[in-house]
Chain A
Amino acid sequence: MDVFILFAMVVGLMLIGVPIAVSLGLSSILFMLALSDTSLAAVAASLYNGMAGHYTLLAIPFFVLASSFMSTGGVARRIIRFSIALVGHLPGGLAIAGVFACMMFAALSGSSPATVVAIGTIVIAGMRQVGYTRDFAAGVIAVAGTLGILIPPSIVMVVYASATDVSVGRMFLAGVIPGLLAGFMLMTTIYVMARVRNLPKGEWLGWGEVWSSGRDAGWGLMLIVIILGGIYGGIFTPTEAAAVAAVYAFLIACFVYRDMGPLARPEGERNLTLLDRPIALVTAFFHRDIRNTLFEAGKLTVTLMFIIANALILKHVLTDEQIPQQIAGAMLAAGFGPVMFLVIVNVILLIGGQFMEPSGLIVIVAPLVFPIAMELGIDPIHLGIIMVVNMEIGMITPPVGLNLFVTSGVAGMPMMRVVRAALPFLAVLFVFLILITYVPIISTWLPTLMMGPEILVR
C-alpha cells in the first residue's frame, strides 16, 4: 500500500508539471522522513554520491560531450552523403539512406531526440524535394531516430549497467545485433513499400563516391571503433573510453572537419588549414565555439544527472523497504512465469517510456524488476536490452511519445499526422520487440562470444 502511495505521488507530481527530478526526490524524501528515522543529511549525502560515488555514471558526461562535438550539422551531412552513396539507388533509396544515416548517427550520439534533429532536418527536406510525401519522410525519421538508445554507445545502457551492476561493455555488445536487426527490418519494410507504391529511387553514383564520402565520414565513425575497440581490447574502461572519445571528437571537429573552432570559416568559404594558422593548436582550447559545446554538454549532463541522482534516492527507499523482494514474492506466489513477467515489464515500460526521460525511468524500474528477473532465471543482459527496446517504442507510441513530438517540430507538421505516419514503422518495431523479448540469443550471443559466458552472482 505504501509503495502504491509513493508511486502515485511520483506520477501525480510529474503530471502537474513538477520537474521529473524533483518529483522523484521530493516523494522519496517525504516517504523516508515519514516512515523511517533516516536523516535529511543522509539524503544530501546520497545526492552528492550519486555523482562522486558512481564511477560508471562518470561515462555519461563524456559520452554527452563526444556526441556534442559530433552532433554538428557538418557531421550529419557527411554521414547522410555516405548513406546516399551506398543505398540511395535502391527503390525508396533516400528513405533507406535516412534510416542508415540514423543508425550511424546513433552510434555517435546515443540520444534519440538529438538523432531526429540532426538527421531529420536534412533528410526530411531532401526527401520532399525528390517527391516523397512529408508524412512518409517524418514517419521514417521518427522511428529510425529511436535507434539512438539501442545502438552503442548508449547513455541509457550505461545507466542500466550502473543500476544493476552488470558490465557496460557487455551491454554495449549486446546492443549491436539488435540495433542492426531493427535497422535492417525498417529498411526492408521501406524497400517493400517502395516496390509496391513505386517510390522514387536515386542514381548509383559509383564506387568513387562511396569511397570518397566514406573516407570523409570515416573520421567521425572512427569514434565507435575507438570506444568499442578500446573497451573490448582491454585498453581502457568504458569511462576512460568515453573521455578518450570526447577528446578525439574535439580534435576531429576542430582540426579535421573544422566545423567549429579557430579554423572554421562561414559557410561557402574554404576553411583554414593548420598551416595557415598554427596558433590554432593553442587557441582552440579557449575558442568560443569550444566553450559553447562544453557548456551545452555540461547543461545536458546536469539535467540528466539531476534526474538520475534523485532516482537513486528513490532506489534507496525501495531497497530499504525491501519492496522488490515483496513484489517478487507476490508475483511468484501468483504463479507468474517468465513470459507473463516479461509482458508486464513490457507494459510498464511502454507506458513509462512515454512520459519520462529514459535514463531516469531505468534507474527506477531496473531495481524493481531486476531481482524478480533473477529469480525467474532471465539473463540480466537480455533484460537490459528488452528494457531499452521498450523505451525506444515508448518514445514513438501515441499519445505523448517524445520522438513524435520532436519530429513534429522538425518536420513542421501536427503531432497527430506524425503519429499516423509513424504507425506502419511502429508496427515493425513491435514485431521486433516480441522477437527480442522471446529470443534471448539475439542479445546474448555476441557478448558471450566476445567476453565469455557471464558469471551470475545472486
Chain B
Amino acid sequence: MSGPGRYEPRSMLGKVVHEFEETAIAVMLGLMTLLTFVNVIMRYVFNSMVIWGLEVVLVLFAWLVLFGIAYAFKVTANLGVDAIISVVSPRTRYVLALLSAACCLAYALLIAKGAWDYWAPFAGLQQTTGHWFPTGFDPNTRDRAFFETDQIPMLEWLRWLEDAINQGEAYSKMPRMVPYIILPVAAALMLFRIIQVTIRIVKGEQHSMIVSHEVEDALDEIAKTRRGQE
C-alpha cells in the first residue's frame, strides 16, 4: 500500500549506507541481548556482575531506537492508519501525503532544536534561545560538561574530552555528553531522511509515509508466490 515496492538503494554509496544502517541496528540489538544474558550468567555462575552492564544496555536501547527512526523513515516502515488514504482519489491522496510530510518536517525540526538544546550543555556548548524557533545562541547556558554517567567507565581514547570541554579535569566515568550525542545525531538524520521522502512524494515516486502493519513485507512475499503459482 505504501508505494511502488520496497526500498532499494540505487547508488553505490546508497548501498554502503543501507548496509551500514541495517548492520548497526542488528549489532546494537545483539550486544544488548548478549550483555543482559552474560550478566544473568555471571550472577548465578560466578556470583558477580558487570557493574556497568545494565546502564550500557539502556544506552544501547536508546541508541538503537533513535538511530533507527531515520532508517524507518527512509524505508517507509513507520506504522500508521491507511483507512482513509487508501480509499480517496489519487489527487486527494497526493495532497494528504504532502500534508503529512509537512507535519513530519515540523516534528523533526522541533525535535532537532530540542535535541541540540538538551545535549549542548553536556558538551560545554551553548543552547539556542527561543521557545518555538532557535533565535540565536544563549551565552548564559549553564555548563554541564562535568556530569558523568553512573557506572560506565571512561574510555582512554576519549581522554581528549577532558581538555576540550572539562577544563582539563579528569573524568572518572564516561561523561554524559557521549551517550546523549545520539540525540542531535539522530535528529539530524531523521530530518535528512524526511526531506528525502518529501522530495520523493512531491515527485510522485512515493504515495505515503506509512505502512498499516508490521508484516507488510511478509504479505508482499505471499502475494508474490501466489501470483507465481497461478
B180's nearest neighbour on chain A, judged by CB, is A48
Write out, one digit per residue, whether chain A residues 233-245 have a CB within 8 A of any chain B CB (1) or not (0): 0011001100110
Q: Does B160 contact A (CB under 8 A)?
A: no
A114 touches B214 (CB 8 A): yes
A17 touches B100 (CB 8 A): yes
Q: Does A400 contact B (CB under 8 A)?
A: yes
Q: Does B202 contact A (CB under 8 A)?
A: no
Which B14-40 residues have C-beta < 8 A from chain A?
A: 22-23, 25-30, 32-34, 36-37, 39-40
Q: Does B174 contact A (CB under 8 A)?
A: no
CB neighbours (8 Å) of B118 from chain A are 41-42, 44-45, 48
Q: Does A218 contact B (CB under 8 A)?
A: no
| Given A243-B36, A298-B25, A303-B77, A117 and B100 contact (CB-CB distance below 8 Å) | no
Binding site for A on B (CB under 8 A): 22-23, 25-30, 32-34, 36-37, 39-40, 44, 54, 57-59, 61-62, 64-66, 68-69, 71-72, 77-85, 96-97, 99-100, 103-104, 106-107, 110-111, 113-115, 117-119, 127, 131-132, 179-180, 182-183, 187, 208-210, 212-215, 218-219, 222-223, 226
Complex CA gap A21/B97 in Å reads 16
B30 touches A294 (CB 8 A): yes
Complex CA gap A235/B114 in Å reads 41
Q: Which of A25-33, A99-107, A328-336, A369-377 binds B?
A: A25-33
Most buried by B among A25, A295, A356: A295
Complex CA gap A14/B85 in Å reads 10
Complex CA gap A121/B225 in Å reads 11
Q: Does A438 contact B (CB under 8 A)?
A: no
B84 touches A29 (CB 8 A): no
| Given A17-B208, A22-B104, A52 and B40 contact (CB-CB distance below 8 Å) | no
CB neighbours (8 Å) of B183 from chain A are 44, 47-48
Complex CA gap A29/B66 in Å reads 18
B77 touches A299 (CB 8 A): yes
A299 touches B107 (CB 8 A): no
B84 touches A15 (CB 8 A): yes
How near does chain B come to A259, taking the closest CB pair, in angstroms? 16
Q: How many residues of A contact B (CB 8 A)?
A: 76
How near does chain A come to B93, taking the closest CB pair, in angstroms? 8
Complex CA gap A42/B37 in Å reads 33
How near does chain A come to B209, taking the closest CB pair, in angstroms? 6
A243 touches B37 (CB 8 A): yes
| Given A14-B81, A61-B32, A295-B25, A40 and B61 contact (CB-CB distance below 8 Å) | no
Complex CA gap A61/B62 in Å reads 11
Complex CA gap A295/B183 in Å reads 21
Q: Does A264 contact B (CB under 8 A)?
A: no
Q: Which of A20, A51, A240, A402 contacts B58 (CB 8 A)?
A: A51
A409 touches B100 (CB 8 A): no
A/B interface sample: 23 pairs, CB < 8 A:
A15-B81, A17-B81, A17-B208, A19-B79, A41-B127, A47-B111, A48-B182, A51-B62, A61-B64, A65-B33, A114-B214, A114-B215, A117-B222, A121-B222, A291-B22, A295-B25, A298-B28, A299-B77, A302-B68, A303-B214, A306-B72, A399-B83, A405-B212
CB neighbours (8 Å) of B85 from chain A are 16-17
B65 touches A305 (CB 8 A): yes
B214 touches A43 (CB 8 A): no
Complex CA gap A357/B79 in Å reads 8
Most buried by A among B44, B81, B82: B81
| Given A17-B96, A18-B100, A44-B114, A303 and B62 contact (CB-CB distance below 8 Å) | no
CB neighbours (8 Å) of A410 from chain B are 219, 222
Most buried by B among A20, A298, A402: A298
CB neighbours (8 Å) of A41 from chain B are 114, 117-118, 127
B194's nearest neighbour on chain A, judged by CB, is A22
Most buried by B among A37, A236, A247, A299: A299
Complex CA gap A289/B152 in Å reads 32
CB neighbours (8 Å) of B209 from chain A are 17-19
B213 touches A52 (CB 8 A): no
Write out, one digit per residue, whether chain A residues 47-76 have a CB within 8 A of any chain B CB (1) or not (0): 111111101001001100100000000000
Known A18-B104, A58-B36, A409-B223; further 10 A-B contacts with Cβ < 8 A: A21-B78, A22-B104, A22-B107, A40-B110, A42-B118, A44-B111, A47-B114, A48-B66, A58-B58, A243-B36
| Given A33-B131, A40-B113, A117-B215, A302 and B64 contact (CB-CB distance below 8 Å) | yes
Q: Does A154 contact B (CB under 8 A)?
A: no
How near does chain B come to A363, taking the closest CB pair, in angstroms? 14
B83 touches A15 (CB 8 A): yes
CB neighbours (8 Å) of B69 from chain A are 302, 306
CB neighbours (8 Å) of B34 from chain A are 247
B80 touches A17 (CB 8 A): yes
Which A400-456 residues have C-beta < 8 A from chain B?
A: 400, 402, 405-406, 409-410, 412
| Given A41-B114, A243-B33, A301-B64, A16 and B213 contact (CB-CB distance below 8 Å) | no
How near does chain A come to B84, taking the closest CB pair, in angstroms? 5
| Given A243-B33, A402-B213, A410-B219, A299 and B68 contact (CB-CB distance below 8 Å) | yes
Complex CA gap A400/B82 in Å reads 9
Write out, one digit per residue, whether chain A residues 290-311 have a CB within 8 A of any chain B CB (1) or not (0): 0110110111111101110100
| Given A58-B57, A406-B213, A39 and B40 contact (CB-CB distance below 8 Å) | no
| Given A121-B222, A247-B37, A303-B77, A295 and B26 contact (CB-CB distance below 8 Å) | yes
